[in-house]
Amino acid sequence: MSRSSRAEPRPFGPWSVPLQQNAEPVAPGPQRFAAPTPVPEQQTGPVSRPDAPPSPVVPVPVQPGPARPAPEPLRPADRTRGRADWVDAAKGLCIALVVLHHVVMFLEPRGLVPAPLDLLNTALASLRMPLFFLASGLFLAAVLGRPWRTLLHRRVALFGWLYLIWTLVQFVLFAVLPAGTAPVIATQDLTSLLLSPVLPAPSMWFLYALAVFSVAARALRRAPAWLLLAVTSTSSALVGAGVLEVGSFAWDFMLRYAVFFVLGWHGRALVERLAAATSPLRVVAAGVLAGAAAGGAVLLGLREIPGVAFVLNLVAVTAGVLVAAELVRWRAGRVAVLLGRRTLPIYLSNTLVIGVVTALLAGLPADLPDAVGYGTVTLVTAAAVVVPIGLHRLLRGARCPWLYDLPGRWAVRPGTG
């Protein structure tokens, strides 16, 4: 049979059966099938007469296979879950490092922090807050596309309220605890408390920065990304080298780390590509590079050169993104993801827990073995992470949700605004 005389498939009922050209279609019956033109078997004997009747052909219906269910459409939450998980893991790592930093601040004056751990905490400064601001800026574009009233409600009013209420709570608690419990940098007098709306409080300045950055980003959303990155990179380099100082460590930090908030905002696609390219080998390589760069800068005294601290921050943040993205591929990463989804209650009250525990440890001698110091720092850090989560549940159950949200009808809830 030539190629041009082949049958064209034609659908018929629930099955598809090919009909040969010049073949008579079989009338549809109970099973709705058509009989194909018989193919003559290979002749092994004498050739039959042309007028001989054709051999009977028993048609076999084509049985349909099991119907495949249509795939369920992905919900919006499912489409972003993989991406959001590594961002949550990054936030979880950051809040754990912030708590560790606060523990070292409180326990080091009492001689309870071994020297290597103190040095490690100093080196991690290149990672914890820059990565925190980067993660906070990743999903900013969706907020900036909404009206001003939504931004002012969800960002400025919420963060401003939490900043003020928890600054006051911390002031009262530290005033009640024995003198010297908290380091000087973490305490306020009455004058500092009254100036808190202008000069951010030591332990709550991150909330203040998020509110300020959100308003600035909304006002400058039409500005070229390259210009914002150039200005914030310059301020970061100058402040990081100590060339530019405002006089408030919180404002200095805001000027230094604003570039990472802008990078998360405008460079989200780049950051997500970096996260997608993670691998154990790249994690190790980035970690070694970040550690070697930080150590070399300290040993050679290079941090005072403008731009060096900024480059160290970039290298550390790159390593942090790779670590977070790799971590969510393992079961151990679930802990970081869970912490990342509870950063707010941990951030708000971790210093309160640390202050109380530090007051209870006041009777310990200062010349304890390093093993005791490592154990103490680890246990206090764990307590300062777990207790705030439990306190959050307790206070919300006790009809005090206004400690974690705007009060009354102004409360920020999913789907509002």
Structural tokens at position 211:
């509110």
The verdict on residue 27 lying in a domain is no
The answer to whether position 10 is within a domain reads: no
Left (φ > 0), alpha (ψ -120 to 50) or beta: where does 16 sit?
beta
Residue 8: predicted pLDDT? 43
CA distance 16 to 9: 7
179 falls within a domain: yes
CA distance 103 to 373: 12
| Average pLDDT of span 129-157 | 92
| pLDDT higher than threshold 70 for residue 75 | no
**Range 136-154 burial, b when 16+ CB lie within 10 A, else e:** bbbebeebbeeeeeebbbb
Q: Which residues of 273-303 are buried (b: 16+ CB within 10 A; e: fewer)?
A: ebbeebeeebbeebeeebeebbeebeeeebe
Domain membership of residue 50 (yes or no) is no
Using DSSP's 3-state secondary structure scheme, residue 12 falls into strand
Has residue 323 been placed in a domain? yes
Domain count, the chain: 1
pLDDT band for 294, please (50, 70, 90 cuts). Answer: confident
In a domain, 406, yes or no: yes
Distance CA 5, CA 21 (A): 7
Tokens of 217: 């980003």
* Residue 46 pLDDT level (bands cut at 50, 70, 90): very low
Tell me the one-letter amino acid at 69: P
Cβ partners under 8 Å of residue 327, min gap 6? 86, 89, 93, 333, 336
d(CA 324, CA 260): 16
Return the higher-pLDDT residue of 369 and 259.
Answer: 259
Confidence category of residue 31, pLDDT binned at 50, 70, 90? very low
Average pLDDT over the chain reads 83
- Phi/psi at 16 (5° precision): -125, 115
DSSP code of 329? T
Question: Does the residue 345 lie in any domain?
Answer: yes
Does the residue 415 lie in any domain? no
What's the pLDDT band for 76 if we cut at 50, 70, 90? very low
Query: Across residues 301-325, what is the average pLDDT?
Result: 92
Residue numbers of the domain that contains 137:
82-410
